[in-house]
């Protein structure tokens, strides 16, 4: 979308059959591609927790008997190790697949008031992360485990990490002076791959290569500019969230925190970003075309195709989002009530 904002790039793409507009998109997704196809697999973890393994089950023969206390204890152990050694300790959590497309949802969080690692077992969910009732997979047992640490827990991301489908998250625990241990979410993510320095480097490389191909430094410059801006636009978008990006790599190894405007997992925000990009591309291609297909004033166009659809989607998302939350709460309450009745029956016997 950003590439189409440059008339020269649109002209080159339409008249010279160039792939210049595609370059903007390719390098726009490159930061995350580098992370999820390379950095993630190069990461070495000190602790790996699979809640469905026998180590974390009350009954080693039943993967539906996860003990959240054992998981919380292991997380607290990793935090304590970081405090005692002063080293960065990395911990990986795995998902719990119950068969087919069903997963056991669970959440981990850090209580910074009581300095505890908290694990809560949730309902069964589908690949769409929708809670469903499966009688034979009804969870029976304590749902919450809490383990106290030997130090203060420092965290900027206050919300719990929800784990169900795809890959589980990883955490880095790093001692911060005498204050306590800082929680670093996905320590391998948005580091060197999310640095403006890398965007500039790729842009310069693209400029040199395309200057050789076109035979002109000036002609190659627009390619380098599109590459660099595509890469950096990804970083700018990430800064609207919580995690941010590493703006000063290679001079600094720590990420710069985002502005907390949006959550990366928000499907509505992600869809609207893609939709807005598509709307902008259509406008630019039409605007810079020798013979425009439509002749709408810019305010009319963006009101009709962006503002109104966005408002409608947000209203619908809030309405149906509340229904999903109510359903999840109902399922959890029913399971807890069933567990309470079983405990009462056992006690009376």
Please say whether the beta carbons of 197 and 233 come within 8 A.
no
pLDDT of residue 331: 60
C-alpha–C-alpha distance, residues 313 and 162, integer Å: 24
C-alpha–C-alpha distance, residues 147 and 171, integer Å: 16
Instruction: Please give the structure tokens belonging to residue 141.
Output: 């047992």
pLDDT of residue 15: 82
Helices 308-348 and 267-287, packing angle to 10 deg: 170
pLDDT of residue 166: 85
CA 82 to mean position of chain CA atoms:
25
Mapping DSSP to helix (H, G, I), strand (E, B) and coil, where does residue 303 land? helix
pLDDT of residue 31: 96
pLDDT of residue 158: 66
pLDDT tens-digit readout, 265-295: 788 888 999 999 999 999 999 999 888 999 9
Number of H helices, E strands in the chain: 9, 11
Residue ranges for the chain with pLDDT beneath 50: 339, 342-349
pTM for this entry: 0.79
pLDDT of residue 328: 61
pLDDT of residue 325: 60
Tell me the β-bridge partners of 153: 181
Please say whether the beta carbons of 191 and 255 come within 8 A.
yes
pLDDT of residue 259: 87
How many C-beta atoms lie closer than 10 Å to residue 264's C-beta?
14
Residue of 174, 177, 168 whose CA lies nearest to 78 = 174
């Amino acid at each position: 979308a950003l590439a189409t904002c440059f008339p020269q790039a649109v002209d080159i793409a339409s008249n010279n059959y160039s792939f210049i507009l595609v370059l903007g998109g390719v390098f726009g997704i490159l930061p995350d591609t580098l992370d999820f196809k390379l950095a993630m697999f190069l990461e070495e973890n000190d602790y790996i927790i699979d809640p469905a393994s026998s180590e974390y089950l009350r009954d080693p023969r039943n993967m539906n008997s996860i003990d959240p206390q054992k998981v919380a204890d292991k997380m607290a152990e990793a935090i304590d190790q970081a405090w005692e050694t002063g080293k960065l300790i990395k911990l990986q959590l795995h998902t719990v697949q119950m068969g087919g497309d069903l997963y056991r949802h669970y959440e981990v969080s850090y209580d910074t008031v009581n300095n505890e690692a908290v694990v809560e077992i949730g309902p069964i969910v589908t690949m769409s992360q929708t809670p469903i009732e499966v009688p034979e997979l009804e969870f029976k047992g304590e749902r919450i485990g809490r383990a106290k640490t030997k130090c203060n827990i420092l965290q900027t991301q206050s919300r719990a990490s929800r784990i169900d489908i795809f890959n589980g998250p990883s955490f880095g625990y790093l001692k911060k002076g005498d204050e306590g241990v800082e929680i670093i979410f996905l320590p391998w993510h948005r580091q060197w791959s999310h640095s403006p320095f890398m965007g500039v480097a790729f842009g310069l490389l693209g400029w040199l290569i395309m200057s050789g191909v076109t035979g002109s430094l000036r002609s190659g410059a627009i390619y380098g500019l599109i590459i660099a801006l595509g890469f950096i636009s990804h970083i700018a978008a990430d800064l609207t969230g919580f995690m941010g990006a590493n703006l000063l790599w290679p001079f600094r190894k720590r990420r710069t925190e985002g502005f907390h405007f949006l959550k990366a997992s928000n499907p509505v925000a992600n869809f609207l970003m893609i939709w807005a990009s598509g709307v902008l591309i259509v406008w630019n291609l039409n605007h810079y075309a020798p013979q425009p297909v439509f002749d709408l004033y810019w305010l009319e166009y963006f009101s009709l195709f962006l503002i109104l659809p966005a408002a409608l989607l947000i209203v619908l998302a809030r309405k149906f989002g509340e229904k999903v939350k109510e359903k999840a709460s109902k399922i959890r309450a029913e399971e807890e009530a069933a567990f309470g009745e079983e405990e009462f029956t056992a006690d009376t016997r």
